[in-house]
Structure 1
């Protein structure tokens, strides 16, 4: 039987987070079936409700795309009556998620030690800029700050170019994904022991964790790597190459694929050239490889070469913009071009759920975002307040 919810549909998550890192984590959890009750401040709610782009009615697409499917209740955690509501929610919750600066929840009387003593099964997940420990723990951070501090901007862009931010908020998004992983691990721990855990995720830690090849290169050379444009630092050819009308990406990740690439481009004579015999030697001569390949690729349009390379089994692809990517048949076939709604019910294009699970339907229509405090009456009735 195929169900329409998800494997986490027995979890209630109280979401105090705002903007992106925490809300992205709870978005993923909601797509996996969890019930998300988003607790917002009464004076405007989540900051991202005021971040564009906006539709013609002034509704934030930024907010709606990351907070779809979540219930909303506005609570002032300094007001006694609202604290009663919050505490009633916590008594039923499986997980509390927040992304305040460390110490904020403790000052409100809701620090981990207090809540763990009161609700020993509650899992508490905190996503912050720098984590709960270390000299920078009290500092505020946004995505741009941790991209700069964490080294990822130093390997992004072109040699000699200006500092370049990665084109999506990888600081927030990786922190959100690591929060999901930590929370699911904590759920597993609780299933075995009955004990809730504190999950501490830092945006800066996430940026260090995804440096992968850059850390390996520094470890063996002692030299901090710099940007290389679209080229891979250790695999060649593995970059964007110019055809007669556009660039395409070719990723020949081993010697067999290099051989297949040369055959497809009618460049088989290059197999005898010792400069191109191994991936290591090709990487040392990456600029020469690019010159040779582009001399051939420049004789025909991108579509011609993509068809030939696909037929030869060489990994390749067009260099799409966002509109082209969302229109790909493959993207549509896997419901990654999805739809949701603004708080007033008007439609909004959004990204789908990348986690496909057997036994659960992956629907292209996602529940919409809610207006601030839209679910107060229903939540209070459920809590008997």
Structure 2
């Protein structure tokens, strides 16, 4: 973890992916993250397997490093009281409950802002809050379908497809982090916290980017192009003798260099293909020519030649090949720490590289309630006997009284 957010306390009432992704990022940056989980079951993703290692879901492992797990039964008044006491001492609270549940538990922003005016309260939901759809549950796959993303993903004449990871959840988590950091900065000037309303739908629509701009300003429906690009040609995968190459020829000068490398310099002079606009409009004529020429080329020889003249190109890799690649090794992309339960915990190093805030090796994703006793005693000044009592009542879960030192 980093030292950037040392001293910032985060109360994580979220589960599954968008919220945990946000809190993991804050933990990577050095914040102290308390992950509140239901006793016994914990986060939903603990049961999402395969894949798993030694019975532990790798899905859960992928979004929960650098956190402490506190198992509290939110359905019991004593449990809610504990959460409220923790909220009093927190800088940030992140939740993804339905509004009706928050009102029932008296854990809304309005409930907590008076007892902690500096609290930054971040709500993550499928459709946002404050309207008739606020109770509708939000799932990444559903939002991918509803937002139009699936309609532009997949082969031209094939089925609409979702992206291979729950990227709207991930982007929503990233948006939450951006908003939280901005709110922390604003709090430095005003002394006040605020409520942040982050929705998967908003994130998805915003991520449509150039596709959204194209539709909003022309009225045209976007189409699917498979791996090709609606506005740049050539920009897709091509077959070589021993693999597949990804090309992203982004301007006319790159196209001239590309044509020279593949032995077709006159192609760049053809009036149909001189400009990117022309190439895009005449893609059905141009692409078969390129496909035929590249089919007999050796992948790595072609890559070396293209990279030497500044034409963007790469090889199609599997996930395993990507993590074994030269760039992954040069960037120390994979970080490993020993784990008693699974042997070695491996995860992807944070992409936030900061010269004055170095990252330490991550702490392991916690077991359900692993830190319950530690947190309740350290943060709320509860006695060991009181924690034992709460354990026996089933209000919290963690280390049994009989094993307490």
TM-score, normalisation: structure 2:
0.90
Which deviations, in whole Å up to 9, do the C-alpha atoms of 1:236-293 show, x marking residues without a partner? 1111112122221111111111111112222111122000110100111123222121
Offset at residue 349 of structure 1 (A): 2.5
Q: Which runs of 4+ in 1 moved over 6 A?
A: none
Is contact 1:61–1:348 with CA below 8 Å preserved after alignment? no
- 2:42 alignment counterpart: 45
Aligned to 2:329: 332
Deviates more, 1:190-199 or 1:298-307: 298-307
- Alignment: residue pair count: 381
Q: Distance in 1 between matches of 2:370 and 2:44?
A: 17
- Separation in 2, partners of 1:101, 1:241: 46
Q: Is the 8 A contact 1:8 1:33 kept in 2?
A: yes
Instruction: Report the CA distance between 1:342 and its aligned residue.
Output: 6.1
1:85 and 2:66 aligned: no
Deviation at 1:99, TM superposition (A): 1.0
Q: Which of these residues, 4, 18, 33, is aligned with residue 7 of structure 1?
A: 4
Distance 2:31 2:366 in 1: 16
Which residue number in structure 2 is paired with residue 139 of structure 1? 136
Structure 2 residue aligned with 1:62, among 59, 64, 68?
A: 59
Say whether the 8 Å CA contact 2:80–2:105 is kept in structure 1.
no
* 1:243–1:301 Cα contact (<8 Å) kept: yes
1:367 to 331, 351, 363: 363
Match of 1:197 in 2: 194
Q: CA deviation at 1:343?
A: 7.8
Partner of 2:237: 240
Gapped regions of structure 1 (runs ≥ 5)? none
Q: How does 1:97-176 map to 2 (within 5 A)?
A: 97-176=94-173
Q: CA deviation at 1:339?
A: 2.5
Structure 2 vs 1, CA of residues 362 and 343 (structure 1 numbering), >3 Å: closer, same or farther? same
Distance 1:319 1:374 in 2: 41
**The residue matched to 2:82 in structure 1 has which SS?**
helix
Counterpart Cα distance in 2 of 1:23 and 1:96: 12
The match for 1:303 is: 300
Counterpart of 1:21 in structure 2 is 18
Q: Is residue 341–residue 369 contact of structure 1 (8 Å, CA) maintained in 2?
A: no
User: What is the Cα deviation at residue 52 of structure 1?
Assistant: 1.3
Residue 56 of structure 1 and its aligned partner are, at CA, apart by: 4.8
Q: Secondary structure at the match of 1:275?
A: coil
Partner of 1:294: 291
RMSD: 1.6
Per the TM alignment, residue 360 of structure 1 is displaced from its structure 2 partner at its CA by 2.6
- The answer (yes or no) to whether the contact 2:84–2:112 under 8 Å persists in 1 is no
